[in-house]
Structure 1
C-alpha cells in the first residue's frame, strides 16, 4: 500500500539527472513506473461505470477479526479509496448497498443467508460472490469457509471493478483446481538470482529478520491477488546454511509476514545437509542417524514456523547431491524426508529434472526412465515436480511423457516464468500461450480427454494432492520483472495455477486492463501483441521443433555451433544434429526411440513426418533438407522463412506499440518501447546467425525474395558474453 517512498526516490533520480545535464525541462510525471503491478487501482471517476459502482458500494463490512481480516480491510481502504474516492465507509451493521465479507463463523448474517451446500463445494480456499438480500438489505456478499477464501474473493471482486465489469447481479462461485500453487525463487543467500534478469533477489537476508521491507508486503499482496499460496525462497541448487538456526530465524520472519495472505513458505534443501552442517559421517538415507537428523530438523522448523510447507529437492542432477551418491533410489531419499515432514502436514516436492551422460540414454528420455518404474513407491505427501517438457524450458517442447505415466504418483507441473531461454527480460514473450498449449494437450493416458491439466490437478487419477510451480521472474528492479510486459507472466501463471481451464487470451486482456489501460484500442492492441509474441520468438529462435540452441552457460543469444563441451548434452549440436543430409533429432524407434514413452495415439501421430504437427517436426525426426513441407516449400526454404518471419514480426511489434503513444502512461510506454527495440535487433541477430550456420550444411541458397543475412558466420561465432546476467554465481577475486 505504501508506494510514496519509492516514488520520491524515483523523482529524485530524475531531477538529479536533469540538474547534472544542465537541462531545463517540463515533463508529465504520472507516478507510474511499474511498481504497482496489476494492483494500480486508478480512479474510476472519469468512467461511465463509476457512478454505478459508487451507488452499489456505499459501505463495507469485514466481519473477520483476524490478521487476514485486517489485510482485507487494508486492501479495500486502499483500493476503493483510490478507485472511488469519497464514497467509502466501514460499518459493523448490515446496510443497503454494502460489501459484506466474511465466513459463517464470523457472521451470523452470512450463516443464515447461505446454506451449507452453498459453501461446501468451494472448499477451504474458494469463495462465493453474490448479489443477495441479507437481513432485509441488498448487499454484495463475499463469503467463504475460511478467511483466506474471503481474501481471494475480495481480490476477485476488485478485479471486476478494475476491468469495468458489471456488479449489478453477481453470482460467482470459484475454488482452485490445484492445491499447491507456488513460485520457486532460484535466489542465493548472497542475493544473486540464478536465471534472474530483474536485478538482485528481493530477499535481503542480511537485514532479516528485523527489517521487513515494504516490498515483501506488496509481493504477498500480488501473489494473493492471483491465488498463489506458496513460495520456495531459495535456489534449488541449495546451500545447507538455509537450515541453520541463523537463517531459519530469517525464514520465520518472512513466514509470519506472509501467513495472513495465505502464503506458506517452503525451502529448497541440500541433500547432504546432515553431513555438511549436521556433523554426520554421511547423508545416506539408509542410515538411521540421517533419518533422525531430518526428523529433528523438521521439528525445529515447525517450532518456528507452524505452517511451514515443506521441502523442494533437486537431487542427483547437474552435480547436486542425492540418494544416488549412496546407491539409493529417488523414492528412498524422498520418503525419508516425507516421513520427517508428515507429522506436521508438510510435503516433499522432488524434482524429476535428472540427466546424466553416463546412462547412455538420450537426454529427453531420462526423467521418464528413472521415475516411471518408481510409480507407487512414494509416500502420500510426495509430489514429483516435472518440467513441462522433457528437456529444459525451451521456447517450445512437446509435453513431458511423465504426465500420464504415473497414476499412483502425483505429478506437479513446473513452468518457468523467468525467460532463461526466451531472451531474458528484454524480449516480450507472453507465456500464457505456452502454459495453455501444454495444459490442454491430451496425453491419452486414460483415453481422450486425459489432458495434462487433468493430470496435474489430480482429477485424472484421483490423486490426493496436486501442485503447480513457476520459476520466478521477480527481482529487485523497480518494475519487479525487468520489463513491464513480463509482469503478465507472473500474473498468468498464478491465474492458470488457480484455474488451468482459463484461456491465455482472456487472462491477457484482464492483465492489460488492470496494468495499462481500459481503453478499448489499448486493450485490443496489447492483447494481440501478447498473444502473438511467443510464436514470434519461436520463429526467430527455434522453429519447427528445434531446441536448445542458445549460448552455452548463460543461454543468451544464438550459438547452434557449440560442440566442444565435455558432456554431449551440454552442446547445442546435440539438439539439432544438422548434417549434409538434413536436420533434427530422430526420436522414433529407428533412432533414440523417445516417442515410445508416449501413449497411443500420440505416439502414432508423432511417428510419421506426414502426420506430426510441423511445430514438432525436427524434435522427433531427422528430416532431409529437400523434404516437401505442407506449404509446398522444401524444408530448407521453410526453415529460413520461419526465421525471417520471426524477425520481421518482432520489428512489427515495436511499430504497433509505437502507435499507442499517448494512450499509455509515458513511463510505462517508454520502458516497453526501449525493450522492444532491443528485441527487434536481437531477433535479426538470431535470424542471421542461425541461417548462416545451417546453410553450411544445406548448401542451398537463401530463398528468392529474402535478403541475404548481414555479417559473416565467423563474426557471430566470435561474439562473447562473459557477464551475461542470471548464469551462475559470479566469481569473486
Structure 2
C-alpha cells in the first residue's frame, strides 16, 4: 500500500505541468516529438515498460519514464511488473531477470555505483531496451538519458550505451541564507522555505530534485558558505532531514556549511580552537546528532579565515588543523569535508593572486583522506576570464576539487545572456604541465593525472524562486552545463548547447543553429565589452553590478579596482612576472615560459600578467590603446547584432519566452554601451590618446558614469 501511494504521489507531482511556456519545466518539457518520421519510429519501439524493483528511486524512474514517454510520444504507455516476460523497455537492478543480468555482466562491471547501461537486446524474438545499473540511482540516471535521446531526436533502435561519471562528487553549492535571501542570487529568493519546513513540502523541491538528478548531480550544499551556525540546531536539522528524505530518492545527498565558531556560538565554549579537546568533543557530538537526523548526510563545506569568516587561524592553527578536526568528526559516519581555498588576508601585502597558493602548498599531504580542498577555477574571484588556479596540480598529496560559479556574479548577472560551458571547458582543458604535457586541470581533479580517492566538482548555484528558476531563460543552460560536465568533462560545449536548446526550446534547424551560435559566442562577447585582454575586477564595489574601473577606495586595497588594472601614463595591466609580483612563478616552468613574455603570452591573459605600454603592438597590428577601443566597441556592436538575430527567430519560439529574452537583450545592449563608454573614457585619462576614427564618441562624460548609483542592485 505504501509503495502504491508513493508511486501515485510521484506520478501526480511529475504530471502536473505549467500551461504557458514560462521556463518552469527547464529541459524536462516532454512535449510531443515534432518530427513525424522520428515520432513514428519512437512509437514503434516503445509502448510498455517492465519495472524490476520497488524502491523509491525505481518508482521515481518509472514515474519519469511514464510521464516523459507519454508526453513525447503522445500515446499511452503501459507498466507491468517483473513477472511479465515481454516488454519494450525493462528497467531495474537486482530484481532484473537473471538471464538478462548474466548477459550484461561484463558491462555492469564497468559502471561502478552510479553508472548506467542502456542496451538493446533480443528477448522472445523481439528487440527490447534494458536500462540497468549496479545501484538504483544508476537506473534513474539512465532513464533520464533515454528521455534525453528522444528529446534531442537521436535514434534508439540499437542502443549500447555504457556511461559512468568521471567524478564522484557532483555538487550544487547554494549560497542561500536562512532568511531566504541568496548571496549573489539573481533569480529571486531561496527555494528553501525554512519557515514552513519540515511540515510543508513545496512541489518545487521535487522538481528541483528531478532537474538536478537528470544531469547527474548527486549532492547539494543547502546553505551559504558565509555560514550561520543556527542551521546546526535541532529545529533546523529537522528541516534539513525533510529535504534529505525527499532528495534521497533522486540520488542526492545533502551537505551543510559549517561555521567554524559554532562551538562558541551554540555550545557556550570559550574557544573554537581545533586542537582543544572540548571543541573536538563538541563537534563529534554535533555530528552524531546530525547523522541521527540524516543518516546519509554528506558532510561539511567550510569557508574559514576568508573575508571575515572565523577559522583555525584565529587560534594560530592551520587550515589543515581545522579541516582535520571536522574530518575526524564525520569520518566514522562516512562523511567528508570540503575546505575552500578561497583565502586572502588584508594583513599580507602580497598579490591576492598568490595568497591561496602560499597558504595551502606548505600543507600538502597534511589533510585527512576524507578532506578535499575546494579550489576556485581562478585565483581571484570568478572573473569573466582567468588563467587556471595555480593550486591545481601543485598539491600532489592533497585531494583537490573544482569550484565554478554558475550564478553570473561578474558576468552580467541575470540580465545578460552568457553561456558558461566554454568558460568551464577552457579551464578544464588548460594544461598545468605539473606531470608533464597533458596534465590538464580536468585530469588533475578526476584523478587521472593526480591520484585521488575522492574527486569532485561544485558550482555556485544560480537557482531561486523566480518562476523560471534562474532569472534569465538562458541562464538555465549553465545549471545544465555544470551537471553534464561534472559527469563527463569530455563533452563539448557545442553538444551541451545543442542538447539544451532542443530540450528547452526547439529542434527546428532555423532556430537551433543560430541560437547555438549565439550561445557559443556569448561569453567571449561579454568578456570583450567588459574586461578584455585579461583585465579583471572592474566592477562596481559591493553589488558588482556594472563597470567602475575608477574605484580606488575600499576596506582593503584588493577590494578596489585600481589594484588590479594598474593603469598609468605608461600603460595598463598587472605585472605578475618575475619583475613584478611573480605570481607567474607559482605555475609550472612551461606555463611560465608561455605567459612570461608579453610577445608570447596568450593575448586573452596579456593584461593579467603584464603591464603593457599603450603603444605596444598586438597580433592584430593595433596598439594596445587601439585594441582596447576595438574590443569595447566591437563587443557592444556584437550585442546589437545579437538582438537582430533574436528578432528573426520570433516565428520559431513561444511568445512568452521570445518577449522575455527580447527585453533582456535590450538591457544587455544598454549595459554594453555603459561598459564601453565608461571604460574607454576612464582609460583615456591615462593613455591621453584619441578614440580612433570611425567609432561613435560617448554621449556622456566620465563624471556622469562615475556618478551613477545602484543602491538596490541585487
Please give the TM-score of this superposition, normalised by the length of structure 2.
Answer: 0.97
Alignment match, 1:588 = 577
Alignment match, 1:22 = none
- Deviation of 1:113 after TM superposition, in Å, equals 2.5
Match of 1:514 among 503, 527, 541: 503
Residues 1:413 and 2:402 aligned together? yes
Once the two structures are superposed, residues 57-88 of structure 1 have per-residue CA deviations (whole angstroms, 9 ceiling, x without a partner) of 12101212100011011111211111122241
| 3-state SS, counterpart of residue 393 of structure 1 | coil
| 3-state SS, counterpart of residue 692 of structure 1 | helix
Residues 1:723 and 2:706 aligned together? no
Match of 2:129 among 116, 140, 151: 140
Once the two structures are superposed, residues 29-69 of structure 1 have per-residue CA deviations (whole angstroms, 9 ceiling, x without a partner) of x6211000000000126532111111101210121210001
| 3-state SS, counterpart of residue 630 of structure 2 | helix
Once the two structures are superposed, residues 337-363 of structure 1 have per-residue CA deviations (whole angstroms, 9 ceiling, x without a partner) of 000000110000000000012111110
Structure 2: distance between partners of 1:109 and 1:520: 43
Structure 1: distance between partners of 2:380 and 2:571: 22
- Deviation of 1:136 after TM superposition, in Å, equals 4.7
Asked if structure 2 preserves the Cα contact closer than 8 Å seen for 1:529 and 1:653, the reply is yes
Match of 2:153 among 164, 168, 182: 164
Alignment match, 1:43 = 32
Q: Which deviates further from its counterpart, 453-462 or 134-143?
A: 134-143
Asked if structure 1 preserves the Cα contact closer than 8 Å seen for 2:53 and 2:94, the reply is no
- Deviation of 1:96 after TM superposition, in Å, equals 5.0
Asked if structure 1 preserves the Cα contact closer than 8 Å seen for 2:185 and 2:462, the reply is yes
Alignment match, 2:463 = 474
- Deviation of 1:668 after TM superposition, in Å, equals 1.4
Residues 1:375 and 2:361 aligned together? no
Match of 1:395 among 384, 407, 422: 384
- Deviation of 1:669 after TM superposition, in Å, equals 1.2
Where does the alignment leave 5 or more consecutive residues of structure 1 unmatched? 8-29, 726-733
| 3-state SS, counterpart of residue 231 of structure 1 | strand
Asked if structure 2 preserves the Cα contact closer than 8 Å seen for 1:103 and 1:110, the reply is no
Residues 1:108 and 2:125 aligned together? no
Structure 1: distance between partners of 2:354 and 2:259: 25
Residues 1:326 and 2:319 aligned together? no
Asked if structure 2 preserves the Cα contact closer than 8 Å seen for 1:109 and 1:134, the reply is no
Residues 1:362 and 2:369 aligned together? no
Residues 1:639 and 2:628 aligned together? yes
Please give the TM-score of this superposition, normalised by the length of structure 1.
Answer: 0.94
Asked if structure 1 preserves the Cα contact closer than 8 Å seen for 2:13 and 2:206, the reply is no
Once the two structures are superposed, residues 426-461 of structure 1 have per-residue CA deviations (whole angstroms, 9 ceiling, x without a partner) of 100000000000000100110011000011112211
| 3-state SS, counterpart of residue 48 of structure 1 | helix
Asked if structure 2 preserves the Cα contact closer than 8 Å seen for 1:283 and 1:290, the reply is yes
Residue correspondences, number: 702
Match of 2:556 among 567, 579, 599: 567
Asked if structure 1 preserves the Cα contact closer than 8 Å seen for 2:536 and 2:564, the reply is yes
- Deviation of 1:365 after TM superposition, in Å, equals 0.4
Residues 1:252 and 2:241 aligned together? yes
Alignment match, 1:99 = 89
CA distance 1:107–1:77, shift in 2 (3 Å):
same
Alignment match, 1:230 = 219
Q: Which deviates further from its counterpart, 408-417 or 664-673?
A: 664-673
Match of 1:598 among 587, 594, 597: 587
CA distance 1:485–1:570, shift in 2 (3 Å):
same
Asked if structure 2 preserves the Cα contact closer than 8 Å seen for 1:54 and 1:87, the reply is no
Structure 2: distance between partners of 1:690 and 1:85: 54
Structure 1: distance between partners of 2:340 and 2:238: 26
Structure 2: distance between partners of 1:55 and 1:2: 28
Residues 1:190 and 2:179 aligned together? yes
Once the two structures are superposed, residues 231-284 of structure 1 have per-residue CA deviations (whole angstroms, 9 ceiling, x without a partner) of 000100011000000100000000000001000000011000001001111100
CA distance 1:286–1:624, shift in 2 (3 Å):
same
Residues 1:551 and 2:540 aligned together? yes
Asked if structure 2 preserves the Cα contact closer than 8 Å seen for 1:334 and 1:348, the reply is yes
Alignment match, 1:216 = 205
Residues 1:206 and 2:195 aligned together? yes
Structure 1: distance between partners of 2:59 and 2:395: 43
Asked if structure 2 preserves the Cα contact closer than 8 Å seen for 1:186 and 1:233, the reply is yes
| RMSD after superposition | 1.2
Alignment match, 1:278 = 267
Alignment match, 2:665 = 676
Asked if structure 2 preserves the Cα contact closer than 8 Å seen for 1:96 and 1:138, the reply is no
- Deviation of 1:681 after TM superposition, in Å, equals 0.7
Structure 1: distance between partners of 2:520 and 2:87: 39
Alignment match, 1:496 = 485
| Runs of 4+ that moved beyond 3 A | 1-7, 93-97, 104-107, 134-137
Match of 1:438 among 427, 434, 440: 427
- Deviation of 1:3 after TM superposition, in Å, equals 7.7
CA distance 1:135–1:308, shift in 2 (3 Å):
farther
Structure 1: distance between partners of 2:99 and 2:424: 41
- Deviation of 1:156 after TM superposition, in Å, equals 0.5
| 3-state SS, counterpart of residue 550 of structure 1 | coil
Where does the alignment leave 5 or more consecutive residues of structure 2 unmatched? 1-11
| 3-state SS, counterpart of residue 256 of structure 2 | strand
Alignment match, 2:4 = none
- Deviation of 1:108 after TM superposition, in Å, equals 2.5
